[in-house]
């Protein structure tokens, strides 16, 4: 006699959203087919892009009605709103965001990786020594129009 393992039933994206509702998350559909999920002052945008595999696209803390995402400045974590306002992240906010992401991954059936289980992680890093790193428009000091150095021309006179 052969024993067969039951095929695991993979829930659809809409069934996963319903599981989130039953778990106590507030869900709000967005016009592009994604959902805004929130609970206890934290919020996230999830989507599946037609692959039936949900992904957490953005997660953050609610400040007013806006979602402030986490930004690492190297020495401190900040919450940045879409309008560009930066606020220092407080320990309670970081703990709430970490717990929210863990609960969300658990309810969606996503894998929780080791580095994310250690604490709050962020996708954006803006260290004070790295200027315009994430924009792709780094300044190129070798392309300056004016020279800061004193040079001698062929006639022996000096110019700057």
| pTM, entire model | 0.70
Residue 54 — φ and ψ, nearest 5°?
A: -65, 150
pLDDT digits (tens, 9 = 90+) for 62-78: 988 889 998 887 778 88
Structure tokens at 75: 């020495």
Encode burial over 53-76: b for 16+ CB neighbours within 10 A, e otherwise.
Answer: ebeeeebbbeeeeebbbbbbeeee
State how far Cα 138 lies from the chain centre: 22
Beta-carbon contacts of 45 under 8 Å, excluding residues fewer than 6 positions away, are 30, 34, 35, 36, 37, 56, 57, 58, 59, 67
- In angstroms, the CA 136 to CA 9 distance is 43
Residue 6's contacts (CB-CB under 8 Å, 6 or more residues apart) are: none
Per-residue pLDDT band for 6 (boundaries 50, 70, 90) equals confident
Domain boundaries, the chain: 13-131
Band the pLDDT of 155: cuts 50, 70, 90.
low
Segment 93-137, tens digit of pLDDT: 989 998 899 899 988 888 877 776 666 667 676 665 555 666 667
């Amino acid at each position: 006699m052969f024993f067969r393992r039951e095929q695991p039933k993979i829930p659809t994206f809409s069934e996963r959203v319903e599981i989130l509702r039953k778990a106590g998350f507030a869900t709000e559909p967005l016009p592009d087919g994604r959902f805004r999920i929130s609970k206890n002052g934290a919020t996230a945008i999830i989507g599946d892009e037609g692959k039936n595999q949900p992904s957490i696209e953005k997660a953050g803390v609610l400040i007013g009605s806006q979602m402030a995402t986490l930004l690492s400045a190297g020495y401190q974590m900040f919450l940045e709103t879409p309008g560009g306002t930066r606020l220092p992240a407080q320990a309670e906010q970081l703990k709430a965001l970490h717990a929210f992401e863990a609960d969300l991954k658990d309810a969606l059936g996503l894998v929780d990786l080791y580095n994310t289980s250690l604490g709050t992680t962020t996708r954006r890093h803006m260290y004070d020594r790295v200027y315009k790193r994430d924009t792709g428009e780094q300044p190129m000091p070798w392309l300056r129009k004016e020279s800061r150095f004193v040079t001698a021309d062929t006639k022996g006179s000096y110019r700057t």
